[in-house]
Structure 1
Amino acid sequence: MSRLKTAGKSRLPIEMRTQRAALDGQYKGAIRSAPRTVLGSAVAAAVFMSGQGAFAVEPAQLQNEVGAKTSQEGTTLPAITVTGRVDSAATEGTGSYTTGETAAATRLPLSFQETPQSMTVITRQRMNDQQLNSVQGVLENTTGVSSYQSDSERTSFYSRGFLINNVQYDGIPTVVGNIVSGSGIGSLDTAFYDRVEVVRGASGLLTGTGNPSAAINLVRKRPTREFSASASLGAGSWDTYRGMGDISTPLTEDGRVRARMVGTYQDGHSYVDGYKPQKKSFYGIIEADLTPHTTVSLGFDYQDITPKGSTWGGLPLWFSDGTQAAYSRSKNYAQDWSHSDNTLKTAFAEIEHRFDNGWNLRAVANQYRTEYDAELLGVVGRPDRATGLGSYPYGAFPVALASEGRSRQNTLDVMASGPFELLGRQHDLVVGATSSRRTAGQEDIAPFFAGFAPVNVYDLSTAFPRPNFDAMASIPTRTLIKQSGVYSAARFSLADPLKLIVGGRFSNYEIDDDVGGASLHYKKSEFAPYAGLIYDIDKTYSAYVSYTGIFNPQTDYRDSRGNVLTPSKGTTKEIGLKGAYMEGRLNASLALFDTELDNAAQMLAGTYTPGGAQAYKGADGTKSRGMELDLQGELGRGWNIYAGIAHFTAQGGDGVRLNSQIPRTTAQLFTTYQLPGEWNRLTLGGGVKWQSHFYQAPNTGTSSLGGEQHSYALVSLVARYAFTKKTNVAVNLNNVFDKKYALQKGDFDTVSYGAPCNVMVTLNYKY
C-alpha cells in the first residue's frame, strides 16, 4: 500500500510536522479500511497540510487488499480537502503501540527520533489489549519502571534506582498521594486517558521538582467531532466485575462544540482473604472552537477508591528460631473494619490559540483535591515455628494506625511555542511559566501495638476488635507549599542532520510546615538545566547526547527532630541511539545513562521523628548507571509489539547498594497479531515479564533480618474475537503458570505475595 509522502523533516516547522504525522497516526486505520468500504480498490495518499489545519489528499494506486487481481492501470480518485484540527500525538483509534510525536520531554512536539531522552508511550490500544485498567498496571508493564508493593494500597514506583514522584496531568505537574497510600497513583483508573507518557531521567525542565527517576504524564481523552460511543463489561477471577462507558458527541451541528463523558465501576473480591477492592470514576469534558484558531476546554474528573479489608504490610517472615515462614497467597490479617479510602477530584480549564505564523499560545488552570481516611491493622514479630504463637517479646503482635487528611492544589501554566528564523535556518522555541499553591492537612495516630496477646499466624481467622481510635490523641500536620517557575527550551537547527536543544527552568519553592506544633519555614530557588544534541545519521537512525537536571524539596522526609530535609539535586547524563522503521510505525531506542544525586534522603534504621514516622538524613554521592532498550510499534500489518530491557547499578554515597528492594534488571515482551484472511476476526497475543532478584539487607532500613526474592518470570495470554465490526470479546489470562512470588520480602521483616493465575473476560462494544 502506498504510504504517506512527506517532505524532509528538517525543512518543515514543528507545526507542519504535527499535522503531517496525524495522517500516519490517527487516520491510519481509516485509510487502511477504505478499500473495503468507501474507496474500493484505491486509497488516497496525503501529501500536504496547511498551517490552518487542513490537508489535501491526492489520488494514489493501491493493490486490492483482499487478494483479488487488480488492474495494471489502477483506479484514481479526485483530490479531497478535509478541514479540522488533528492531534497527531493522540493514540486512540490508531490501533498502534506507538505515536507519531510527543511533547512530554520538552513541550516541543517531537518524534521519538528527535527527543534526546529515553521514553515510552503506552497507547490506548495497548492498555485495551492487556487490560491495563490501572496506572499501576501500566507502569508495571513499562520499560525501566519497577514497583514496590508494601501491601494492598501502598505501591511505589522506581526508575533507575530512584523513587518516581513526578506526575503530570496533560503536562501540568501535580502532587499525588499521601503517606498512607504510597505514591498515590497506582489505583487510578486509566479509562480517562488516551496514553501514558513516561520520560526517564531528570525532568526538571517541565516538572520543576522531583527525583532523577522518571516523569509520568497522564494524557486525557478529548471529545470527537463525530458521535462515538463505546462500552465494555468484564468478569473475572474472584468475582471481579468491571463496567466502562464512554460517549463523545457534538453539541452543535458543525461539531464546533463537543463533549465527552467516561465512567467506570469496578467491584469484587481478591485472591487475598477478606480484601474487596472497589472503585468508581467519572470524567467529563466540554470543548469548543471559539474561532477556527481558538479552542477552549472545561473538564472534571473524579475517582473514588474505597477498598474494604485493606492490608497493612505483610505477614511475619521469620520464626523465632531464625527460619523463614511461608504462607498461602490468600493469607491476610486485615479486618472487616480495615480500610484506606481515597477520593481524588480534578477540575481544569484550558484555552489554546493558534496563530497563522505557526505559533501556539496555551493556558491551563487546574485544581486538584484529595481526601483520604484510613484505619489499618497489621501484624509484626517472630512467632514460634511449632505453635505459630510465642510469648513476649517473641510472637506476632497486632499493630494499628489511623490517618485522615485532605489537600488542594491550584496550578496555572501559560506556554507559547512556535518556529523562528535565525541565520537563514528555521528553529523552534517554547517559553512558559507555572505557578502552584498546595495546602494539605492531616491527623495521624502513629503506629501502636494494639494488643500484647500474640496472634497465631497459622490461624488468622479470629476477628480483632476495632481500637477506639476516636479516643486517641492524634498528631496534626499542616503544610503550605508554593511553587513558581519559568522555563524555556529552544531547538536550533545547526545543520540539516544536526539539532541542538538547550533550555532550563528557574524555580522558586517555599514551604510552611507545622507538625504537632513544631513549625518550619523554608524557601529556595533553583535552576534545572536541559541540553540535548541530536544527529540524524540517516532517515532511519539518529544518535543523541543529553544532560538534564532536577531538584527535589523532600517534604515527605524528616530528620530525627521532625524537620524537613533540605532539597536533593540530581543530574542525568545520557547517550543513545534511536531508530524509526516502517515510516515511523515502529520505534526503537538504546540509551546509556549516568545519574548523580546529592543530599538524597537516606533512612535511619531504628530512628523516628517526634511524630512516630521513619527518620531520614541527607547523603551525598548517590550514583546510578545503566542501559535501557525499548521497542514499540508495528512489525507488520496487524502485528503489534512492545519489548524492553533495562538494567542499572546504583549505590549511595557510603558505597551501599541503593534501594536493594527493587530488581536491577527487568525485561518484558508483549505482542498481538490479527490473523489474516478468513481468520481476521481473531487476534491472538501474549507476553512475558522477567525481573532479577531483589532483597532487603539485614539491619538496614526497615529490616532487621532481611529477605530475598529470586528472579522470576510471569506469562500472560490474550485472545480477542470480533463478532461484528462493533462487538468483540476478549479473554486475558495472567500468570499462566501460576508462579508464586513475593511483592516484598523483608520490609519490617514481613512478606507479601503476588496474584496467582487469573482470568478476565471482557465484552466490548463500539459505535
Structure 2
Amino acid sequence: MTFFTRPSKRGACQRARLLCAASALAGIAFGSPPAMAQSPIPADLSANDEQRGRRDEIIVIGQGERESPSVYTVPVVAAATRLPLTLRETPQAVTVMTRQNLDDQQLNSVQNALEATAGVSSRTLDSERVTFYARGFAIDSFQYDGIPTAFVNGASFLDTAFFERFEVVRGATGLLTGTGNPSASINLVRKRPGRQFAASATLSAGSWDNYRGMADISAPLSRDGHLRARLVGVLQDREGHVDRYSQTKRSVYGIIEADLGPQTLVSIGYDHQAIRPEGTTWSGMPLWFSDGTPTRWPRSKSMTADWSRWDNTLDSAFLTLEHQFAGGWVARAAVMHQRSSSDARLFSGLGYPDRVTGEGLQPFALANYTRSRQNSIDATLSGPVSLLGRKHDLVFGIMANRRVANEFSSGFVLPSTPFGSIFDWTGAYPEPDFDAAPSSRTRTVTRQGAFYGAAKLDIVDQLKVIVGARVTFYDLEQKTALTSFEFSKSGRITPYAGAVLDLDSHHSAYVSYTEIFNPQTNRDRDGRMLAPTSGRNVEFGVKGTYFDGRVNASIAVFKSWLDNVGQIDPGRLLPDGTQAYFAANGTTSRGVEIDLQGEILPGWNTYAGFAHFVAESVGGGRLNAELPRTSGRIFSTYRLPGPLRALTVGGGVNWRSASFEPAASPLGPVQARQAPYALVSLMARYDLSARADLSLKVNNLTDRRYTVVNGFFNQVLFGEPRNAMLALTLRY
C-alpha cells in the first residue's frame, strides 16, 4: 500500500519568492490615497456578537489614522450562553484576547496567543504537537464564530490574522459545546468586512530568518456598501532555534457580506491554511547518558532527520444568514464545512547514549497520514420578552455536526541502519521505506445533535438569573482492522445555572453551576466501552467594570469534578493486545483565577491574569503533574503623551511555577523537574506617519534557559532563546 509516498515540495528560492510576494501584498495598500473611514464594526465588536441594531454604525476616524486608543477588552460576549452579555453579566470566568493585544505582542499563531492567555497552559510533546489546558484538564472545545469544532493536527499553528479576537470561557461549557472537559472553550471570532474601504499590510523580519507578510483589505462592492468583502492573506517562511527546522505558511481568508434588506444579512466565506514544517522534532534529546549522568545539550541540538516533516492543510467554508424581526428578535443560521489533512514523517533516537562515544541510541521512525472532514449547522432565535413587568432575554438553538476521520499509520518502524554517535549527528539518515512497512487504518465517525435554550431573567433591578439546558444526541463509531465498536447516547441533558447580583454601580457577585460530558474509547476487561466522563463545575466570583467599560476585572473561585475517568486495569489486556481500563470517580480540581484587561489610564492598556489550581486524580495523586499549578501573565503598553505621542512602549512577563513528569533514567524511576521561570518581553512602536508604523518585539529578554519537553520518552526539548521581530505596518 502506498499511503505514505508523497515527495516534499520545497524550492531553493523560497525566501526570495516570499519577500517578492510580501512586497506585492504591501503594494496593494498604497495606491492613490482616498479619504477613508474605519471599518463599520470596531475592533472590539463584530457581527458575531448578535448585537441588534449595530450593523449600520460607522465610525469615521480620519484618513489613515489608527483607531485610538488601543483596545484590550470588549463590551459584550456571547460565547458562554449565546445571550449577548457583558463580561460583568456573564456568570463564568471569561478572558478576551483582542485584535490590538494580538498585534501589540505580535502573537501570530493560535499557540502563541493561547500561551499568552491568562488561565491557559500548554503541554508540548515536540515541535508540532501541543495540547492546551485550563484548570488542570485538557481543552478540547474549540469554536469558530460560536460553531463547535474538533481541534485537529496543526491547528496550533493557525495564523491569527484571520481573527478579530479570541474568547476564552473557563469551566464546563456543555450548554453550547455538548462534549468536552470541564476546562475551557476557545471561540475564534473571524474578521468581518466594513462599508468603507480600508487596507493594511505588515512586513516582518525576525530571528532565525523569520520573514512574514500580511495583507488585509476590506472594501465595498457596491456604491451604497450593501455588498462588501474582506480578504486577508499571509505568507511566512521561517527557521527555528532547533537545528534543521523550518516552516512555511500560506494562508488566505475571504468573506463577502450582503444586506438582502434592511433587516437581513448574509455572509459567505472561506479560509485556507497550508503549514509545511521540515526538520520536525519527535520529542527531544536524551535526558541522561547511559551511566545515569545528566546531559546538557545546546538548545539548538536535535535528533531529527533531514527528511522529517509534518505537513498540515486546513480548509473551512461557511455561510451565515441573519434576520432581525420586530420587537428585537433575531434569527441566525450558520453552516460550516471543514477539511483537514496531516502528513507526517517522523524520526528520533530512543535510549541513552554513551557519555564518551555518543553511541547506543536505537533509531525509530513513523509515518502517519490523516484526513478529516466535518459538517456543522447551528441555528438560533433570540430576543426579549416582557413578563411581570420586567424585560427578560431568551435564546433557543439547534445544532448538528458530523465528523469523519481516517488515519493511516505505519506504526513504529525500527530501521537497520545504526544511529551512530549523537555527538556527530547531522540529520543525514536514510528515510525508511514506509510503504513496505505494515500499515493500519482507523476510521472514526462522530455525530452530535442537540437542542438548547437559555434565559436571562431580570428578577429585580440588582439580580439577574441565567438558566439553560441542552439535550444532546451523540453517536461514535470507530473501526480498525482488528476492532470495531459503537457508542450512542440519546437525550443527555446538560443543565446551566447562574446568578449575578449587582453590589454597586461597578461590581457584581456571581455564582454558577455548569456540566459537560465526554465520550471515551477506553474499554474494560470485558471489552465494553467505558461510559462517558462526566464533568461538573461550581464557580463563585466578583467582577468589576470601570472607566465607562474600558476596564474589566474579575476574581473567581472554582471547583471541578470529573467522574468515570479511565484508569489502567493492571495486568489486564484485551484479546487484541490493547490495555484494559476501569472507570473511577473522584478526579477534582479547585483553584482561584484573577483577571484584568483594559485601558486603566488614557493611553495605558494592560492585560493581566493570575491562576492557581490544585488537581487530584483518583486516590489523591497529583493530576497532570507536568502542568504548572500557578501561572501569572501581564502585558502592558503605554502611549507617551505630548510631543512623544508617536511612541508606544510596553512589556510583559509570563511566569509559571515548577512542573514534574515521571521518567526513567538508567538508574531507575525519577521525577523530571522543570524549575519555575519567567519570560520577559519588551515592545516599542513608532508612528512614522498617520499611515505607517514600525514596531519591535523582543521575547525572552533575559535569555532564560527553560524546557518545553522534560521527561516525555525520557527526553528534553528547550524553549526559544532570546529572539526579536521587527514589523513595518502600512495602512489606509
Residue equivalent to 1:619 = 584
Give the structure 2 partner of residue 253 of structure 1. Answer: 223
Shift of residue 532, structure 1, vs aligned partner: 0.3
| Residue in 2 that maps onto 1:223 | 193
**Counterpart of 1:537?**
503
Q: Does 1:396 align with 2:366?
A: no
Q: What is the one-letter code of the residue matched to 1:712?
A: Y
Shift of 1:26: 3.1
The CA deviation at 1:408 is 0.7
Equivalence for 2:519: 553
**Counterparts of 1:444 and 1:610, CA distance in 2:** 21
Q: Indicate yes or no: 2:282 matched with 1:317.
A: no
* 1:176-191 aligned within 5 A: 176-177=151-152, 181=153, 184-191=154-161
One of 264, 270, 293 as aligned partner of 1:294: 264
Cα gap change, 1:52 to 1:161, in 2 (>3 Å): closer
Q: Does the CA contact (< 8 Å) of 2:39 and 2:58 recur in 1?
A: no
Cα deviation for residue 360 of structure 1 reads 0.6
Counterpart amino acid of residue 671 in structure 2 = G
Find the counterpart in structure 2 of residue 59 from structure 1: none
Q: Which string of whole-angstrom CA distances, capped at 9 and with x for unpartnered residues, describes residues 97-131 of structure 1?
A: 00011001110111111000001000000000000
- The CA deviation string for residues 321-375 of structure 1, in whole angstroms up to 9 with x for no partner, is 2222121110011112111111000000000001120111000001011111111
1:699-744 superposed Cα distances (whole Å, 9 cap, x missing partner)? 79xx954311000000000000001011000000000010000002
Match for 1:709 among 674, 677, 680?
Answer: 674
Task: Tell me the distance in 2 between the aligned counterparts of 1:136 and 1:438.
Answer: 24
Structure 2 equivalent of residue 134 of structure 1: 109
Cα separation, 2, equivalents of 1:648 and 1:554: 25
SS at match of 1:253: coil
Cα offset, 1:415, TM superposition? 0.4
Query: Counterpart of 1:26?
Result: 42
Letter in 2 for 1:109: P
Q: CA deviation at 1:23?
A: 13
Provide closer, same or farther for how the CA distance between residues 430 and 466 of structure 1 changes in structure 2, counting only shifts above 3 A: same
TM-score, normalization by structure 1: 0.85
Match for residue 133 of structure 2 among 143, 154, 158: 158
Displacement of 1:533 in angstroms is: 0.6
What code does the residue aligned with 2:516 have?
I
Q: Which residue of 2 aligns with 1:593?
A: 558
In the alignment, the residues of structure 2 paired with residue 577 and residue 211 of structure 1 have an alpha-carbon distance, to the nearest angstrom, of 24
Q: Does 1:693 align with 2:658?
A: yes
Shift of 1:451: 3.8
- Which residue does 1:41 correspond to in 2? none
The answer as to whether partners of 1:446 and 1:611 remain within 8 angstroms in 2 is no
Query: Structure 1 CA distance, aligned partners of 2:700 and 2:577?
Result: 39
Unaligned runs of 5+ in 1: 1-21, 30-49, 55-82, 390-394
Percent identity, please.
50
Query: Contact conserved, 2:663 with 2:713, CA < 8 A, in 1?
Result: no
Work out the CA distance in 1 between the residues paired with 2:527 and 2:355: 39
**Matched-pair contact (CA < 8 Å) for 1:187–1:305:** yes
Contact (CA 8 Å) 2:358, 2:422: kept in 1 or not? Answer: yes
Asked if 2 retains the 8 angstrom alpha-carbon contact of 1:308 and 1:336, the reply is yes
Give 2:202's match in structure 1, choosing from 224, 232, 237.
232
Given residue 158 of structure 1, which amino acid in structure 2 is its aligned partner? Y
| Pick aligned residue for 1:115 from 75, 90, 100 | 90
Give the match's secondary structure for 1:306: strand
Identify if the C-alpha distance between structure 1 residues 460 and 706 changes in structure 2 by more than 3 Å, giving closer, same or farther. farther
Given residue 721 of structure 1, which amino acid in structure 2 is its aligned partner? Answer: Y
Is it true that 1:341 corresponds to 2:311 in the alignment?
A: yes
CA distance in 1, matches of 2:263, 2:547: 33
Find the residue that maps to 2:188 and give its secondary structure. strand
Could you report, residue by residue, the CA deviation over 1:197-233 in whole angstroms, capped at 9, with x for unpaired residues?
A: 0000000001111010000000000000000000000
Candidates 311, 320, 327, aligned match of 2:297: 327
1:269 aligned residue: 239
Tell whether 2:684 aligns with 1:722: no
1:428 to partner: Cα distance: 0.6
Show the counterpart of 2:48: none
Alignment counterpart, residue 735 of structure 1, candidates 690, 700, 715: 700
Q: Is the 8 A contact 1:189 1:281 kept in 2?
A: yes
Q: 1:512 and 1:586 mapped to 2: Cα distance?
A: 47
Ranked by relative contact order (alpha carbons within 8 Å, sequence separation 6 or more), the top structure is: 2
Separation in 1 of the partners of 2:127 and 2:310?
9
Distance 1:612 1:740 in 2: 41
What secondary structure is seen at the aligned counterpart in 1 of 2:160?
A: coil
2:123 maps to what in 1? Answer: 148
**Mapped pair 1:209 → 2:175:** no
CA drift of 1:388 comes to: 2.1
* Aligned counterparts of 2:593 and 2:717: Cα–Cα separation in 1: 29
Cα distance change of structure 1 residues 280 and 292 upon mapping to structure 2, 3 Å threshold: same
| Among 317, 321, 324, the residue aligned to 1:354 | 324
Which deviations, in whole Å up to 9, do the C-alpha atoms of 1:223-266 show, x marking residues without a partner? 00000000000000011100000100000000000000000011
Output the amino acid matched with 2:181: N
Deviation at 1:518, TM superposition (A): 1.5
Q: Does 1:282 align with 2:290?
A: no
Higher mean C-alpha deviation, range 558-567 or range 569-578: 558-567
Quote the Cα distance in structure 2 between the aligned partners of 1:244 and 1:53: 28
Deviation string for 1:77-96 (max 9, x for gaps)?
A: xxxxxx5489xxxx988720
Q: Which residue of 1 aligns with 2:163?
A: 193
Deviates more, 1:522-531 or 1:346-355: 522-531
- More displaced 10-residue stretch of structure 1: 442-451 or 292-301: 442-451
Q: Given the alignment of the two structures, is residue 492 of structure 1 paired with residue 457 of structure 2, yes or no?
A: yes
Say whether the 8 Å CA contact 1:24–1:100 is kept in structure 2. Answer: no
Please state whether the residue corresponding to 2:111 is helix, strand or coil: helix
**Range 595-604 or range 411-420, more displaced:** 595-604
Q: Using the alignment, how far apart are the partners of 1:629 and 1:716 within structure 2?
A: 21
Q: CA, structure 1 residues 478+27, in 2 after alignment: closer, same or farther (shift >3 Å)?
A: closer
> Which residues of structure 2 form unaligned runs of 5+?
1-37, 46-50, 60-65
SS state at 2:80 partner? coil
Note closer, same or farther for the CA distance 1:671–1:602 as it changes in structure 2 (3 Å cut): farther
1:101 is matched by which residue type in structure 2?
V
Please give the root-mean-square deviation of Cα atoms over the aligned residues, in Å.
2.5
Shift in Å, 1:558: 6.4
Instruction: Say whether the 8 Å CA contact 2:617–2:623 is kept in structure 1.
Output: yes
Instruction: Quote the residue 2:29 is aligned against.
Output: none
Q: How many residues align?
A: 681
Counterpart in the other structure of 1:35: none
Contact kept in structure 1, 2:592 and 2:613, CA below 8 Å: yes
In the TM superposition, what whole-angstrom CA distance separates every residue of 1:300-323 from its partner, at most 9, and x where no partner exists? 011111101111111111222222
The one-letter code of the counterpart of 1:302 is: H
The offset of 1:185, in angstroms, is: 2.5
Preserved CA contact (<8 Å) 1:475 1:611: no
8 Å Cα contact 1:309-1:335 kept in structure 2: yes
Query: Following the alignment from structure 2 to structure 1, what is the Cα–Cα distance between the partners of residues 138 and 341?
Result: 23
Q: 1:618/1:455 Cα in 2 relative to 1: closer, same or farther (>3 Å)?
A: farther
Residues 567-586 of structure 1 aligned to structure 2 (within 5 Å): 567-586=532-551
CA distance in 2, matches of 1:686, 1:576: 29
- The normalised TM-score by structure 2 is 0.89
Q: Please give the secondary structure, in 2, of the residue aligned with 1:357.
A: helix
How far has the Cα of 1:271 moved from its partner? Answer: 0.5
CA contact (8 A) 1:704 1:749 kept: no
Q: 1:670 to 1:604 in 2, by over 3 A?
A: farther
C-alpha change, 1:361 and 1:398, in structure 2 (3 Å) is same
Over 3 Å counting, the alpha-carbon distance change for 1:338 and 1:147 in structure 2 is same
